[in-house]
Amino acid sequence: QLHLVESGGGLVQPGDSLRLSCVVSGSMMNFYAIGWFRQAPGKEREEVSCISSIDGSIDVADSVKGRFTSSRDNAKSMGYLQMNNLKPEDSGVYYCAAGLMGEGVPCYRAVTHGYWGQGTQVAVSS
């Protein structure tokens, strides 16, 4: 059983940066893929980024590519989402998730069916 806690959200202006953190406890994080999702009010949840536990490959959504970078530090049991050049459309609740990648299971699918944090709010407004 994993426990995930996100932090680092806040209210920022367009063009600003934020770094979200995700603390993972309960098991060794290196066994798990780490994903980031977001959900804006009235909109469906959106995949943002996913880091494979198998080969370390990172998938980033087209909507944030070039601005957002995800990373993980297994020794510290931490996941990170660095968000640069934030836009109002980036506003929403950001969640991290962790899941086991079985053979042939894509990263996002693994984390979707795994463990989730409670989310951290990001608001981008002038």
**111 SS3 class:** helix
Please write the tens of the pLDDT for every residue from 80-124.
Answer: 999 999 999 999 999 999 999 988 889 999 999 999 999 999 999
Closest-CA residue to 9 (of 101, 91, 75):
91
pLDDT cut 90: percent of the chain above it: 90
**pLDDT the model gives residue 104:** 84
pLDDT above 90 (res 20): yes
Mean pLDDT throughout 13-37? 95
Mean pLDDT throughout 53-79? 95
Confidence of residue 27 (pLDDT cuts 50, 70, 90): confident
SS3 content of the chain, % helix, strand, coil (to 5): 10, 50, 40
Mean pLDDT throughout 49-77? 95
Q: What are phi and psi of 24, to 5 degrees?
A: -115, 125
**pLDDT the model gives residue 28:** 86
Mean pLDDT throughout 17-44? 95
